Structure 1
């Protein structure tokens, strides 16, 4: 939509036109923080309320994490123009992130009513249904979006998530392979060469070859899919891992023969492959095919000894590590995280000593300041994931939201209880309390409309029951 500068005097109009042009260029370049400031001037200082200013400023607010402000701006645009298709589509795309799943569905349905054959409207309806765990309906809409616009990468990726969440892994991985075309979210590493990207063992046997496996997304994804690296070694490959620096030492210790790419090391390999492409290439077609032997990561003995000694003062207590938020910028963290204050009953439980595993800033989710004796915090001493792993190995139980700590505990084979959002990530599947990826994990799902207090209450009761049984 274009900007409306009618009714503005010539001199002021020239200034505003320049601001409009600047804001548009910044938005087109995906420089959202700068674009948000330009639109804040147009909206606030200049008082523009035309459809383009409202829509684009809301979009920039959304992409800078100001979700509540973005929702309010989209609603303002729709109040001004009830049939504003793009505003309904974009509002549907942000409401699920602030736990208004039914609101997202309502605006997606409105968008489809306004434009039944608009691929973006049909896709956002599929997305809204996906986040309500209505997989069959979501699949129908997403496949229709792809009929309307073949190659529509956002619909392809949402369809992949639907299939993976439903355990239909073989087709899910194939659609997920399209993720690299969504360049706004994912970029290949600088050393990427299309001619050297591994296409699987049938086309390119690995015996005697050196292959680089590169991490591509978050720490949790890396931890989860490192399990595939030994399968490459079993095929005769020498493996180099290009992972986040804080994981390198743990990976090299846990996976003998693997060398991690560091800033001082040259990458000299025959082939390379994205880490999350390995399930596709190595035949994880069904849930039964998941390589789930744990632990596949373990802390170095020196780190284990250090942390055994450090936690020795609490040797007679049931030691529980807790984490309550993931990375604040993660798209679903508002639904995943819980506030620390809700976990207070764990801190007060007789015979239990709680330890913080919350290394990353948790923002407003750190809403309490417990006594240091109730929640011991050693995370400032973690130099890398060797320390994290060694500390987790000394705990009786980890209680966490869906974040890298859950994956680390699972990869170490340590008992962990994971509190999931209603729209849990695809890897946790639906309804079940266990995980085929991690045998040592127990899942506590929050239902749609269920208060976090109730979810945490179930965790607290489960821990009481476990302690009453004397299970350590």
Structure 2
């Protein structure tokens, strides 16, 4: 019995580490059946649920854990994250305060508390909180990132950059701060300085360290020459699927400079579609064994290596869905009311990552569901891990017009074929938006967090995604005005059904 219990707990932890969250929850529940009053297991069930996007379920599980032992700060922090993601911001703030009362030096709880204050539009309090921390410790990285974020949301762009530069002056070796600075500079269109700082991204360093290339010094990284005749270039994917698709667009410049052969190592889910796109000559699965060969370049280095500083930025990488998958999806969509509009309302990573990129991008769901109810045609749910309550509310707002395609997030060839049939896509920035751009889509992107550089800091368009429209709620986070504008725009821009349905391979 004891061995069985321990095995199930270990299995759940392994699933959690590998981001198999549903399997992790199942394993933890199996262990919990052997010891129903184990508060740690209840907390782990809540963590697995939270990572599946099931915020309300997570809150209930963690509350049960807290009822068994009230003095564990990490439980209150997790509860705060769940309540925040469920839109219960005031309750989330209370939970983070309780976590900090139990563990005043808990970095993640402190950072999450500041982010919750920002979400509650209590910008002055957030800036004051991070400012107090920095007054005691000017090298507190979480506080530096939090203060910069607060200022950025408030539209104080130069102040945010100044905060990060001040932090870097104190701790110049800190990659997270330099990475964050690079993204902010890029969002303002300061490409030369931005791409230089972007070289310091922690995922790049970890990837090269894993491959044993610790000697790669970004300070002395040579640029690529203007002419590449006869050269073979090898590009290694990194970070997430969206990042790989985004940076592979720069392969076109390599070809324009005369590169005779381009090879790419990517996520295996992308290999087929990238190969069919014709921009690369060979496509293999990425891995640290390849990077041991210094000929393989991290694909995110290309803009710096090529001095891609605008104004003529490369367009998105073109992608062609498989003919048989297009036929399959057309059959599933047959008879649905037109237009077909894809929806996502949550994206990004969960809390716990320092800086700007490790923050969940989530729209206020009840308001988003109201928006969805005003949209025409059939609404296709493309959200990863939508929870039953979300689907129920969408269906209540748009009776008979909601179809759940969320499982295609684990079948990217199917997702690409589906995206090629859409008339519109409304949602937060995620990998599917990159895929949609690849099939010629022109989506409507709702900036739910700090703007990623791909969507810039200002304006209604991005030079990286021509034809897409960008919507920002502003410092006051006024989503009602944003959603009204989306509805007005959709009244005039929804394309004729069937205008983009081509396949491209077998």
User: Could you state the TM-score of these two structures normalised by the residue count of structure 2?
Assistant: 0.69
Q: In the alignment, what sits opposite 1:115?
A: 136
Q: In the alignment, what sits opposite 1:11?
A: none
Q: In the alignment, what sits opposite 2:127?
A: 105
Cα distance in 2 between the residues matched to 1:101 and 1:336: 18
For residue 263 of structure 1, report the CA deviation from its aligned partner.
8.3
Q: In the alignment, what sits opposite 1:27?
A: none
1:337 and 2:351 are equivalent in the alignment: no
2:464 to 426, 431, 437: 437
For residue 130 of structure 1, report the CA deviation from its aligned partner.
3.0
Task: Answer yes or no: is the 8 Å Cα contact 1:98–1:334 preserved in 2.
Answer: no
Secondary structure in 2 aligned to 1:409?
helix
For residue 247 of structure 1, report the CA deviation from its aligned partner.
1.5
Cα distance in 2 between the residues matched to 1:345 and 1:122: 36
For residue 224 of structure 1, report the CA deviation from its aligned partner.
1.7
1:427 to 438, 454, 467: 454
Q: In the alignment, what sits opposite 2:341?
A: 320
Secondary structure in 2 aligned to 1:239?
strand
2:267 to 244, 249, 260: 244
Cα distance in 2 between the residues matched to 1:253 and 1:386: 12
Is there any run of 5+ residues in structure 2 with no aligned partner, and where? 1-16, 19-23, 29-38, 44-61, 352-356, 500-506
| Residues 243 and 373 (structure 1), Cα distance of their counterparts in 2 relative to 1, 3 Å cut | farther
1:280 and 2:298 are equivalent in the alignment: no
2:444 to 404, 417, 442: 417
Cα distance in 2 between the residues matched to 1:174 and 1:110: 31
| Residues 60 and 134 (structure 1), Cα distance of their counterparts in 2 relative to 1, 3 Å cut | same
Q: In the alignment, what sits opposite 1:142?
A: 164
Q: CA RMSD in A?
A: 4.6
Deviation digits for residues 310-333 of structure 1, max 9, x if unmatched? 43434x832222222225637666
Task: Answer yes or no: is the 8 Å Cα contact 2:436–2:443 preserved in 1.
Answer: yes
Task: Answer yes or no: is the 8 Å Cα contact 1:97–1:332 preserved in 2.
Answer: no
| Residues 321 and 46 (structure 1), Cα distance of their counterparts in 2 relative to 1, 3 Å cut | closer
| Residues 107 and 87 (structure 1), Cα distance of their counterparts in 2 relative to 1, 3 Å cut | farther
Deviation digits for residues 233-272 of structure 1, max 9, x if unmatched? 44315333222222121111113543222389x9596611
1:463 and 2:496 are equivalent in the alignment: no
Cα distance in 1 between the residues matched to 2:359 and 2:347: 6
Cα distance in 1 between the residues matched to 2:204 and 2:84: 23
For residue 433 of structure 1, report the CA deviation from its aligned partner.
0.6
Q: In the alignment, what sits opposite 2:380?
A: 355
Q: In the alignment, what sits opposite 2:200?
A: 178
1:231 and 2:253 are equivalent in the alignment: yes
Task: Answer yes or no: is the 8 Å Cα contact 1:325–1:365 preserved in 2.
Answer: no
For residue 279 of structure 1, report the CA deviation from its aligned partner.
1.0
Cα distance in 2 between the residues matched to 1:118 and 1:172: 22
Q: In the alignment, what sits opposite 1:25?
A: none
Larger deviation: 94-103 or 190-199?
190-199
| Residues 228 and 263 (structure 1), Cα distance of their counterparts in 2 relative to 1, 3 Å cut | closer
> What is the number of equivalent residue pairs in this alignment?
428
Q: Where do 1:180-329 residues align within 5 Å?
A: 180=202, 186-188=206-208, 190-191=210-211, 193=213, 199=221, 202=224, 207-234=229-256, 235-262=258-285, 267=290, 271-286=295-310, 288-292=311-315, 296-314=318-336, 317-327=338-348, 329=350
Task: Answer yes or no: is the 8 Å Cα contact 1:96–1:128 preserved in 2.
Answer: no
Secondary structure in 1 aligned to 2:471?
strand
Task: Answer yes or no: is the 8 Å Cα contact 2:191–2:309 preserved in 1.
Answer: yes
Q: In the alignment, what sits opposite 1:14?
A: none
Secondary structure in 1 aligned to 2:199?
helix
